[in-house]
Structure 1
Amino acid sequence: NDWRAFGPWTDLYALGCVAYELVSGYPPFSRPSDDRAQDAMSLMVAHLRAPVPPLRAKMPVPEGLGDFVRRLLAKEPAGRYRFAADAMRALETLPAEAPEALRREPQTTIPVGPMAVISTAEPGTLGSAEAASSPLPSDLLLTSARPIDALAATGLANESALLTAIIDPSAMAPAGFDVGRHSPLDVPLIMPTDWRELQPNAAPPPLQGVGRSLFGQREPRSCGRGVERDALWATLRAVVAGQGARAIVLEAPSGYGKRHLSQWIAYRAHEMGAAVLLRTDHERPHGPACGLGPMFARALRVGELSSARRVQRIAAALGLPAHDERVLALSSAIDAESPTLSDVREVLAASDQRFDAYAAALGRVAGDRAAVIRLDNVQYGEDATRFAGYVLAHRSELPALLLLTVRTDALRPGSPEQVALAELLQSPSAACLPLGPLPPGPYAELLQSLLPLRVDLVESIIQRTAGCPLFGLELLQHWIRTEALEDSPEGFRLRSGAERIAPEGLQAVWRARIDEALAGEGQGAQCFELAAVLGLVVDNAEWTAVCAHAGLHADPAVTERMLDARLIRRVDGGRWTFTHAMVREALQQRVRRAGRWAWANRLCADMLLMRGENEPIRLAEHLMAAGDHAAAIGPLVAADDMRHEATDLPRVRRLLSQR
């Protein structure tokens, strides 16, 4: 029940149960027997506490398979394989042939439900169809199993304690899940020299005349960018090989595939079991889910915990005492709303101490793997860029690949963010990968992999969008929604006259989709405009509160329309996010054009004050956007003085300088 302890090891336990049953013919802890029945509660507690019964194979199996299955079924997550890739490599090391001496039992399949088929055939034979279709004898149904004395196995005093163990396993477990404690790699990880060795087989071409309703439901494939992917792969291999931390800055205008490329290398690393993944985004004004603190809160799984519980879990993750100043500093940096202890003010007063606490957490979370840290939209994230620089300069031994994406069309020359990026790129361990337009060949491959299109339409899209793949995909989405595509023997083509009404730019595409989703929705439109002022990631409680303060009601039906249009998507923690920063920007432009920008920011500031949110920088940003610079001075000075807001001193000082 402790969702904070979930991970790949959770699914691998389930895999162990399946493997056990496939090999033995019955699930673990449920071997058929004629003695007294075992109730469901005892069975559940057996999974929690009882030793795994010996695995008795019903067929020849490779030597070592029993140890493999037992490791999958280890009670402690730290005893299991950390990644599915680890389990696969271990399985591949088992001998291909099974020794004849291995113990086996007669093949007997025990039904698990009224429609199950009983087979008592000898190995190598099949049961008759007549026997298979006969009614199941009641004595062969799975109504009895070898009993397991759950209370004796666990040392629990009574059935009430047993029930507590099932409902709340954490009551019997130490406080905090040690995210960094995992069994070491048994089989060395050898990364291929070339990422192309891991490329999946080419997918069959889409069926002719179908696929419009499914367009946008799956992730576009990675096409082209061979030089950039070679550089990313070589850098990842160096990090995994223990050559120290590296940073790569992916820069391009919006829509050129920065985030997709960053995601590609991160997912490949995770699929191989080579790295753990961390990610954060940035926006302006700074939202509650953005930045380094929320990123480490997610990685350490301490979100929404009380101060005391948060400290316990962080201490367990770092392997340090709860009173250690690094634990307290990290706890304070992660959650600005809940003070930890007042004596950590000095610890957080300088970025270096805070960055060192983050780096310690990073090393612990990664364990014996690398860490791939995705820092998106750092044109709004000076703090994240400086953290990357700190890791390269002072914690270069960490096996960390820091991937920073920056929108060149939103990066202001001479801004603190631009200065921080320039300083980062002075490090010999950092490199910049600028992305240009996607070449016509890979662009055509991308489009045709999603929808069978006529060649002339593909060429028209490439020319119209000037090599911007996001623009091309959104343009196709626009034509699908407006029913501008029709089938032909050579693939989909545009209906006559449709090209003349196509949006002329990526922003125009987003505006058209927003206008369509919010058509005729006065209040609903204003609610989503307020959401765009709140942030890229929107907290439902905050959104509801600011709408109520404005006298508006967020209609769930309008929300569903925005979801259906893929303009927003739900995320964890009672939040949702705009699917792209440009969706938010298009809504913000609506607010500005309507002359409601100051009004909307004032509403957001009032909401933060009414809810007692302890986020002075965010409050100050909304007050300044509302034009009330005098009111913003108090929160800014408080942020400069308060120990928890010292986590973003550069941002405080930038805002103060604007006054």
Structure 2
Amino acid sequence: MSENRLSIGPFELIKPIGKGSMGVVWQGIHRAQSVPVAVKILSTFGDQDEFRQSFMNEVRAVARLHHPSIIRLLDYGVTDDALSESTGGQIAIRSPYYAMELATGGTLPRPKQPLPWLQMRYLLLELLDALAHAHARDVIHRDIKPGNILLMYEKSHTRAMLTDFGIAKAVGSKELPNGLVAGTPRYMAPEQILNQTRDQGPWTDLYSLGCLAYLFATGRRIFARATGTEVLRCQIDEEPEPVTGRHLPEGFQKWLSKMLAKKPSHRFEYAAEAAWELISLAEPELEAPEIPSNTQNVVAEPVDSMDSCDYNIVEERGSASSVFKTLYNSDQLQLAVAQGTREVSSGQGGEESDKDIADDLLNDMGDTMRMDSADIAKVISEQAQAARARDEQEHELSTLAEVYRSRIAGAEPREGSSVVPAPKTWRREAFNDQFGQLLCAGLGLWGLRTIPLVDRDAERDLIYDRLLATRSDHQARCIILDGPRGTGKSRIIEWISQRAHELSIAHTLKAIHYQDHIQAPGIARAMTYALVCQNLTRNLALERIESFLSEHPLQPEFDDALPMLELMQLEDDPEHPIANIRFDSAEEQYFVLARFLKRVTHDRPVILWLDDIHYSKFGMDFVRFFLTDEVAKQIPVLFLCTTRNEDLDDAQPQAESMRELLEVPTVIRRSIAPLAYEDQLKLVHELIGLDDDLCEQVAQRTSGMPLFAIQIVGDWIERGVLIPSSTGFVVKEGVSLALPDSLHELWISRLHLIFKDSKKFGNARPIEQLEIAACLGNHFDADEWRIACEMAELGNVAKTVEAMLEHKLFEMKYPNIQFAHDLLRESLLRNARENNRFKDHHMICADMLRAYFSDALTFYHERRAEHLYAANAWEACIDPLLQAAKLRQQRCEFSTGYMLLQQRETAIDNCHADADSPIRALGWLAQANALLQEARLDEATPIVERALALGQRVQSPAIQALSFKEKGVLLYMRNNVGDAIDTLMVSLSFFGQISERRKAGYMSEKAETLSLIGRICDVRHELDLARNYLQQAIDIQNEIHDYCGLGRSYKSLGNTYQHGGMYEDARKSLDFALQIFQNMGYRLYIANCYNDIGEIYRLGYQQPDEAEVWYRNAMELYREINAPDGTTTVINLVMLLLAKHRFSEAKSLVLEQIEKLETHGQSFDLNWLYAELLPCCAATFDWPMFDSTVLLLGKTLEDSMVVDADILYCTELAANLCSKYATHEQGSFCREIAKQQAIRLNDSGAMSRLNAST
């Protein structure tokens, strides 16, 4: 070590060169390579949590960034005893420090006059490029100002560098505690001042840069006349004075206005957007600004601490570069290159300041301030009241939320974005990194720096080319990267996503999928994070969703707020509950997600990263739907999926979904093999700077698997076995160099090392605690884990959590915890199996759920069943699996339901149950019920017959009752109404034979049977009988609280009253049903009620216009949920059109609907459609179609025995049209059908008319 120099890690300290509120900056040098550095050490009075948090925030933020215009972080650590002794205690023991590159040009001075255009544009573009890099890596600086821009003198030019990321925000991270707001008032965006943390993003930094651009263009700070907290109000309320001058190009004011827009949605969304528009501006009239000789007209600015800097870090030199000499007046230039150390007292360097009295409020700590949000609200309110006093408007705003709402109006459509041209390649020119890999430095940054991406150029070319194609032709595409664990598939997609963000050529969304299927669909979670709704209650999330929908409208518009909220699966606020909705099909969910993606792609494509999609049948089916649906596939989305085909069992439903997805022409599958040895060696070299021999050993052992190599090096760092040497880091003498054979071995040995100190963890057994956590899932509830560990007597988990967080193996996702890598969880599960603890752990989890959680909890049965199944508790899991499958059916999540029923069948087999065990039939019938809901009649038929045969063999009344019920439904759906009602009556008789002890368990199914019999009696116009059966169903459903069944029965009861002309009773029943369905969120049934109420207005009240409103409301809802049930409303609308003699329009609707029904194999509604088609054909003289339709209608009515006044109306109208335009014989066919309907309807008036026209 050089004489009089202090040692700190691999560096030597030369002298202090800056001092601020948080600590001291030293000039230093890298001991081995003589590279000059700056070392920032947290001071003894900076040991408060707030200071340490800011310090660590800066380390975390900058460590992951690598850009020529961002200060380079070289190492991080804590000081040792020797350094403290050498400085006489001035540097405290264990003070955090970090080393960074030394800025030879000091801090960017603040200009006192406008800058020349070329220099200003150059500086702004450098900063925009730096911000694009940071934003793409989810880092928002939030404190852009002159004091946080350093200058680096280089041979050909002076480079500007962003520094001081102390209040940077990682997207999605926690905010400052206790309602504090941090920033520099002169450069803070409105959403930052108002503490609207979820609304902050890249646009927040762009606002700050806009303030800086204002300074460069005018030589004045924004809102120059304002002082103290008045600046805050101006940033929220006031527009700055326009920027003019012949030294500025045409369009600059417009560009600046967009940077400084008060609403985030009115600003540029990406830094590259702002850069492109800036580059696109023409040259100004003058090269340099006109500086008036008489300066009396220049605005006098109050002197304050609004743009000083925290540290004035400069090298000892006497002049700035020639480029920047021209930018500032001589006073500023002198200040920028001042020699030696400068004490900063109130400000952060820069000019001396007189502090405004109002600044006392802001807890001034230099210029970057920590401000209490309540105080800000109070001050802004007071100032606003004074400003409005002349208008006699007084209202004190006590919270930031009130201030925000009062200043910023409701959401509006997002302003159009710039179309930034996409480069032909993803490659960019590599910058000359003077530091490279400093010898034996950077150990403290392990786990914070971004892992380098080596090779994979072919994959990057493929993805980038497909992205450009999607951007060009607006066609959706999919690329699947398949390969073993640890080959770097996700890293490739992460890299290309960041590059697309930097270039602003695509939005990026990420969805992670897990083995447990109880989580919300991964794509829905991606939507949740995109709208920053994570950890919000439903009412607060709904506000954000509605704002998003307003800013991203569609034509035609859809009411997607509640469906999107439902997909997010968030918790309700008991004091502000939000109504739930129910999805009636997976396709309904697909359409909601597709419309969300369409909204997001309004200005550029989306890269949707679907990690481990092989775990999610929903995810794969959604992508296949998206790529094949005629509308969705024209939305510019590039799906980038990772899969591990080795994990797919051919028998799993997921395997079938994967096969179907791969058959889609726009899907490309690329296998990701391990890296070649040379590339793996390069990766290991770039990780931390190991000795060459050590690099070769790691590369050889890890066989081209990047993750394996990373974990080996990380394990050495965690264990503290790496020491510096003249050739790089080497392993300490005496430490075994035996490398593990697999990642599993590495994970487990690392955990044993972390938890080897038994005294620290007391009576806790951390490894077993973590095994239980792994059983709960990759993403698990902290309270559930704690309770399960207590039940297993494994001790308190607090120390285990602390250790796992410290070693970056856990991530907090409050109130949940997540394993840092899914492979770690898999290793823990394997360890539990190998030590015969796996089954016991899962039994504990099942017992925990039963003891502490209600069966009313969503997915309670499914979660219990999952643990019982894993524990091989076959008998215990049979009933929960059935209940779980039924819940999935109710949610129309059929694929998951089928999988659960298959697991149930396996559990029954493992119980060695008899082939004729009635318990099997319950599962078969649940499967048949789901298939019927999906209208898969041919698949349901043999399953129903098998269950019925079993029930008859074992003489089980319950199985026979349920089997005949499902068979009756099947016959009804096939339009065989007569056989259907006979079959359902048999079912009722068997329900009556069930023993009293077991009868209660089948009351819901019995009520469904009664209700369906009532509906069939209604269509046969046996109205009294129908009401009798429906009332029986209602009585049972009221008693057992089956509200969904109750709503359906009341709706059917309303239909019977309507068909009998009792319209007031019908309206009451339908209103009751509508209220039930609205409370439950059943949008399909809500639409059905709208349609039926429309019928009452059309037929009963004779108000066609009012009826049309209800019909259209119903059709809109059917459209939104993509429901095939819209046939009834189409039928009713056609009836209105027929009454108005709009026959051509009616014919088109009818033919379109007939085609849909015949495609789906549904025939019941054809009774009405064929009847409606007859007058349409007659009026349009389409006699061939008329003749074939008459025959079809006659056959259909004969099979169904349907009787309805609308069929009577249509056939009578057709007969009259035939009399007018065709032969008597054609008219007689219609007249005969009409007479049959009139007789059964007991309609004497119709009979008189028909007889008179004969």
TM-score normalised by length of structure 2:
0.46
CA contact (8 A) 2:701 2:739 kept: no
SS of match in other structure, 2:467: helix
Partner residue, 2:199: 5
The more displaced of 363-372 and 329-338 is 329-338
Partner residue, 1:29: 223
Q: State the 1:182 CA deviation.
A: 2.8
Partner residue, 1:535: 777
CA distance in 1, matches of 2:774, 2:273: 42
Query: Residue 650 of structure 2 is aligned with which of 402, 413, 417?
Result: 413
The more displaced of 349-358 and 618-627 is 618-627
Partner residue, 2:488: 257
Partner residue, 2:498: 267
Residue 216 of structure 1 aligns with an amino acid whose one-letter code is G
CA distance in 1, matches of 2:639, 2:219: 47
- 1:167-566 to structure 2, matched below 5 A, reads 169-170=404-405, 181-186=413-418, 188-197=419-428, 204-286=435-517, 288=519, 291-319=522-550, 326-335=560-569, 341=579, 344-345=581-582, 348-394=583-629, 395-494=632-731, 501-519=738-756, 520=758, 521=761, 522-551=764-793, 554-566=796-808
| 1:507-553 deviation digits (Å, cap 9, x = unpaired) | 11111111112223433333322221222123334434444454555
**Structure 1 residues 487 and 325, CA gap change in structure 2 (3 angstroms):** closer
Residue 867 of structure 2 is aligned to residue 622 of structure 1: yes
Residue 754 of structure 2 aligns with an amino acid whose one-letter code is A
CA distance in 2, matches of 1:636, 1:174: 50
Partner residue, 1:587: 828
Residue 595 of structure 1 aligns with an amino acid whose one-letter code is N
**Structure 1 residues 544 and 277, CA gap change in structure 2 (3 angstroms):** farther
Partner residue, 2:240: 52
Partner residue, 2:819: 578
Unpaired segments of 5 or more residues in structure 1? Answer: 33-37
SS of match in other structure, 1:623: helix
CA distance in 2, matches of 1:219, 1:174: 40
TM-score normalised by length of structure 1:
0.85
SS of match in other structure, 1:479: helix
Residue 560 of structure 1 aligns with an amino acid whose one-letter code is E
CA distance in 1, matches of 2:534, 2:793: 31
Partner residue, 1:67: 254
RMSD: 3.9
Q: State the 1:25 CA deviation.
A: 4.7
Residue 849 of structure 2 is aligned to residue 655 of structure 1: no
**Structure 1 residues 465 and 14, CA gap change in structure 2 (3 angstroms):** same
Partner residue, 1:126: 331
Residue 210 of structure 2 aligns with an amino acid whose one-letter code is G
SS of match in other structure, 1:250: strand
SS of match in other structure, 1:278: strand
The more displaced of 189-198 and 348-357 is 189-198
CA contact (8 A) 2:477 2:637 kept: yes
Unpaired segments of 5 or more residues in structure 2? Answer: 1-194, 310-325, 359-379, 905-1254
SS of match in other structure, 1:9: helix
**Structure 1 residues 425 and 160, CA gap change in structure 2 (3 angstroms):** same
Q: State the 1:554 CA deviation.
A: 4.2
CA distance in 2, matches of 1:651, 1:315: 30
CA distance in 2, matches of 1:78, 1:115: 27
CA contact (8 A) 2:481 2:672 kept: yes
**Structure 1 residues 84 and 157, CA gap change in structure 2 (3 angstroms):** farther
Q: State the 1:366 CA deviation.
A: 3.1
**Structure 1 residues 636 and 330, CA gap change in structure 2 (3 angstroms):** farther
Residue 523 of structure 1 aligns with an amino acid whose one-letter code is R
| 1:222-270 deviation digits (Å, cap 9, x = unpaired) | 1101111111111111122234111111111111001101111111111
Q: State the 1:375 CA deviation.
A: 1.1
| 1:117-171 deviation digits (Å, cap 9, x = unpaired) | 9xxx9974337979x99999x99736399x9963487899766534445665247
CA distance in 1, matches of 2:871, 2:807: 31
CA distance in 2, matches of 1:540, 1:624: 23
Q: State the 1:47 CA deviation.
A: 2.1
CA distance in 1, matches of 2:409, 2:793: 47
**Structure 1 residues 606 and 93, CA gap change in structure 2 (3 angstroms):** farther
CA distance in 1, matches of 2:772, 2:879: 24
Residue 141 of structure 1 aligns with an amino acid whose one-letter code is D
**Structure 1 residues 594 and 13, CA gap change in structure 2 (3 angstroms):** same
| 1:349-399 deviation digits (Å, cap 9, x = unpaired) | 221111011110111123211111111112311111111111111111111
CA contact (8 A) 1:221 1:446 kept: yes
CA distance in 2, matches of 1:388, 1:409: 21
CA contact (8 A) 2:520 2:567 kept: no
SS of match in other structure, 2:808: coil
- 1:90-105 to structure 2, matched below 5 A, reads 90-95=277-282, 99=286
CA distance in 1, matches of 2:846, 2:456: 44
The more displaced of 270-279 and 474-483 is 474-483
Residue 696 of structure 2 aligns with an amino acid whose one-letter code is E
CA distance in 1, matches of 2:515, 2:678: 36
Identity between Structure 1 and Structure 2 (%) = 28
Residue 564 of structure 2 aligns with an amino acid whose one-letter code is L
CA distance in 1, matches of 2:687, 2:664: 40
CA distance in 1, matches of 2:603, 2:352: 51
Q: State the 1:77 CA deviation.
A: 1.4
SS of match in other structure, 2:634: coil
CA distance in 2, matches of 1:19, 1:374: 36
Q: 1 or 2 for the larger relative contact order (CA 8 Å, sep ≥6)?
A: 1
Q: State the 1:431 CA deviation.
A: 0.6
CA distance in 2, matches of 1:114, 1:310: 36
Q: State the 1:54 CA deviation.
A: 2.9
CA contact (8 A) 1:337 1:614 kept: no
The more displaced of 470-479 and 632-641 is 632-641
CA distance in 2, matches of 1:605, 1:52: 62
| 1:596-634 deviation digits (Å, cap 9, x = unpaired) | 333333443454453444224334323322344555455
Residue 769 of structure 2 aligns with an amino acid whose one-letter code is C
The more displaced of 490-499 and 589-598 is 490-499
**Structure 1 residues 17 and 504, CA gap change in structure 2 (3 angstroms):** same
- Aligned pair count reads 638
Report which of the two structures shows the higher radius of gyration computed on alpha carbons.
Answer: 2
CA contact (8 A) 2:839 2:870 kept: yes
CA distance in 2, matches of 1:558, 1:96: 62
Partner residue, 1:35: none
CA contact (8 A) 2:865 2:881 kept: yes
Partner residue, 2:211: 17
CA distance in 2, matches of 1:128, 1:360: 55
Residue 184 of structure 1 aligns with an amino acid whose one-letter code is G
Residue 800 of structure 2 aligns with an amino acid whose one-letter code is V
Partner residue, 2:305: 113
Q: State the 1:565 CA deviation.
A: 2.2
